[in-house]
């Protein structure tokens, strides 16, 4: 039994510029609606083709990544969606996008969630996602085309359950983590 967690391809959305916290909220909405602008590397195609059960998040960047892999999902489920970025109501300062993303994710990890799901809620959702993936693995190798943070939370949950990592998750687009069921 194997579960493959693959991150989506590169979103067709600008990743540079300076933003206020308020403008970042609009950028995040655009990011969530973006499809991808690249093709999977051959290694990702090879890994994906090993799966007999294919699931994905409903976000366009995940769905379009699956299409670029030439695969159709058996299930599309919001439990696999990315964790939303919190926002702040500030009109200043204007900071580079990378600074905002790092700062807001750090604030989120420290407990600030604003109007998005909390760290604890995201971990609970990752547990439910892992439950679904483990159940689906009874049918064969499962491929989840998902997102960076949620895939890492799911991977953490699988490791807690004794699943062994053949390959750990990365933050890069098209990266994959491969987990095998414990033999005990």
Alpha-carbon span 47 to 146, nearest angstrom:
15
Q: Which residues are CB-neighbours of 71 under 8 A, at least 6 positions away?
A: 48, 49, 51, 54, 143
110-164, pLDDT tens digit by residue? Answer: 999 988 999 999 999 999 999 999 999 999 999 999 999 999 999 999 999 999 9
What are the two backbone dihedrals, phi and then psi, of residue 106, each rounded to the nearest 5 degrees? -65, -45
Strand partners, 165: 179
- The confidence band for 58, taking pLDDT boundaries of 50, 70 and 90, is very high
What are the two backbone dihedrals, phi and then psi, of residue 97, each rounded to the nearest 5 degrees? -55, -45
* Of 183, 157, 182, nearest in space to 5 by CA: 157
Task: Considering only CA atoms, give the Rg of the chain.
Answer: 17
62-88, pLDDT tens digit by residue? Answer: 999 999 999 999 999 999 999 998 988
87-97, pLDDT tens digit by residue? Answer: 888 878 889 99
- Read off the tokens for 47: 């890994």
DSSP state of 180: E
What are the two backbone dihedrals, phi and then psi, of residue 5, each rounded to the nearest 5 degrees? -105, 115
Strands 53-56, 75-76: pairing is parallel
Q: Which residue has the tokens 């999902």?
A: 73
- pTM across the whole model: 0.92
Of the candidate CATH numbers 3.40.50.1240, 2.70.70.10, 3.40.718.10, 3.40.50.150, the domain formed by 2-180 belongs to 3.40.50.1240
């Amino acid at each position: 039994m194997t579960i493959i967690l693959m991150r989506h391809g590169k979103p067709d959305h600008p990743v540079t510029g300076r933003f206020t916290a308020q403008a970042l909220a609009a950028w995040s909405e655009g990011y969530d609606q973006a499809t991808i602008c690249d093709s999977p590397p051959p290694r990702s195609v090879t890994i994906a083709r090993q799966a007999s059960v294919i699931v994905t998040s409903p976000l366009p960047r995940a769905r379009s990544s699956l299409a670029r892999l030439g695969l159709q999902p058996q299930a599309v489920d919001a439990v696999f969606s990315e964790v939303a970025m919190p926002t702040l109501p500030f009109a200043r300062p204007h900071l580079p996008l990378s600074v905002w993303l790092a700062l807001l994710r750090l604030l989120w990890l420290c407990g600030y969630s604003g109007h998005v799901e909390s760290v604890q809620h995201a971990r609970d959702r990752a547990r439910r996602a892992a439950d679904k993936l483990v159940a689906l693995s009874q049918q064969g190798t499962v491929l989840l085309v998902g997102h960076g943070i949620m895939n890492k939370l799911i991977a953490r949950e699988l490791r807690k359950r004794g699943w062994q990592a053949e390959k750990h998750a990365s933050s890069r687009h098209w990266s994959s983590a491969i987990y095998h069921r414990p033999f005990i």
